[in-house]
Amino acid sequence: MRVLIVGAGGREHALAWKLAASVSALFCAPGNAGIAEIATLLPVAADDLDRLVAAARTHAIDLVVVGPEAPLVGGLVDRLAEAGIAAFGPSREAAALEGSKGFAKDLCARHGIPTAPYRRFTDAAAAKAHIAERGAPVVVKADGLAAGKGVVVAETVAEACAAVDDLVAGLGPAAAALVIEDRLEGEEASFHALVDGERALALAAAQDHKRVGEGDSGPNTGGMGAYSPTPAVAPAMAETIMARIVRPTVAAMAAEGRPYRGVLYCGLMLTREGPQLLEYNVRFGDPEAQVLMVRLGSDLGPALAAAAAGDLSRVRLDWHAGAALCVVMANRGYPGAHASDGVIEGVEEAARLPGVAVFHAGTRRDAAGRLIATGGRVLGVTATAPDLAEARNRAYAAIARIHWPHALYRHDIAWRALGRGTTT
């Protein structure tokens, strides 16, 4: 099978790392310095749909695996289908689950899928008036895609009203509409399932760390680290999530004429009343993909191909015992204005440590072959071990061997699980 991965981040490197073992030829557009070591890079941007379709034709691609959300929301899978090329990912209409938070909330309301009470607004003044009446704490969300930065959890009415102004001013069309919802109390978890339009196959659960600062403080980011499995999602909880959220979502999308195929990633709050949906994502999480891929014992390619073809009935997935943990190394200043173009050293040494894989996100090679940090999130230092505590020790030992002048990372990934004494 000849596979083309679309994207350039840590998620795509993790997918490429896993797919390389089960495909005959692997390409990535546009990729990064780490992916270049295991796949042929194509100089095509992830949002250049015309050239992506042309590249898939030129290289006789059997399956396109779309990593990021923007080309999915933009209709890349539809374009590939028109060209007779199989693709893993939802259609444009199905990708509205992530493309519009308002659509997702309305779907939940129509089909009884548990989520926080909410209101939708297209006028900032009306949104602020609702906040003043409703009170705080409250969550302010941009309706459209915002690279993980369109959600503000506000503790006061003043913070929430300022968030409305900041999102509208900073995100442009993505914040032309807003969702204002009650804040849920509990513990967050990430839950992924492969979906073929009718059936859903659960993947291992993970827990992300969205906030930039220690102890989950500071602004939201695209994700600063993750681990799997998480004690918050024991087998009984996983089945509850499938029964109350995942399967009803798949059925709802089919009933509304938007059958969903691809990976469905549910961001959840585990409340006293049970799991409730925070948001849908229509692609693998990043950095959740990193910990899922290193734990997956089965070949990935056949499973993705089966989902794309609409038949997961014969797919079974095996998972390695033990735990995996990923620490994201970002450029200092992220998620705001940050430095870039610093030289990174020590990645190869770190990757030679037992159980360690270093997934690239914002990296490139300069003319001298040096590894250069670009963008916000740069590396995902990922480790596996028999238990979570040792996985964390291995990840941070690897980080100690990596050097560049503007590195930023959290020192407390998995603090919730390890704080409660859980090691597996």
Q: How high is the pLDDT of residue 391?
A: 98
How many domains is the chain partitioned into structurally? 4
Tally of CB atoms within 10 A around 342 = 18
CB of 184 closer than 8 Å to CB of 278:
yes
CB of 227 closer than 8 Å to CB of 417:
yes
Q: How high is the pLDDT of residue 268?
A: 96
Q: How high is the pLDDT of residue 423?
A: 43
Residue 211 sits in which domain range?
187-309
Q: How high is the pLDDT of residue 405?
A: 86
Per DSSP, which regions of 229-273 are E strands? 261-271
The CATH number for 166's domain is 3.30.1490.20
| Together in a domain, 349 and 278 | no
Task: Enumerate residue ranges in the chain where pLDDT < 50.
Answer: 422-424
Q: Which two tokens stand for residue 289?
A: 């993909």
| Together in a domain, 223 and 170 | no
Q: How high is the pLDDT of residue 421?
A: 52
25-to-1, 31, 90 alpha-carbon distances in Å: 7, 15, 23
Strand partners of residue 65? 5, 88
CB of 329 closer than 8 Å to CB of 399:
yes
Q: Answer whether residue 336 is part of any domain.
A: yes
Per DSSP, which regions of 232-306 are E strands? 261-271, 274-281
The per-residue DSSP string of 13-61 comes to HHHHHHHTTT-SEEEEEE--TTGGGTSEE----TT-HHHHHHHHHHTT-
CB of 78 closer than 8 Å to CB of 92:
yes
Q: Answer whether residue 115 is part of any domain.
A: no
The CATH number for 274's domain is 3.30.470.20
The CATH number for 402's domain is 3.90.600.10
Q: Name the amino acid, one letter, at 420.
A: R
Q: Answer whether residue 212 is part of any domain.
A: yes
Q: Which two tokens stand for residue 367?
A: 């003319």
CB of 1 closer than 8 Å to CB of 24:
yes
| Together in a domain, 346 and 410 | yes
| Together in a domain, 8 and 78 | yes
The CATH number for 29's domain is 3.40.50.20
| Together in a domain, 66 and 138 | no
**Claim: this prediction has a pTM higher than 0.75:** yes
Q: Answer whether residue 424 is part of any domain.
A: no
230's CB contacts (< 8 A; 6+ apart) are 189, 205, 206, 207, 417
- Per-residue pLDDT reduced to its tens digit, 397-423: 999 999 998 899 999 999 989 886 544
| Together in a domain, 68 and 134 | no
- Per-residue pLDDT reduced to its tens digit, 300-311: 999 999 999 999
Q: Answer whether residue 262 is part of any domain.
A: yes
154's CB contacts (< 8 A; 6+ apart) are 136, 137, 138, 139, 140, 160, 162, 163
Q: Answer whether residue 98 is part of any domain.
A: no
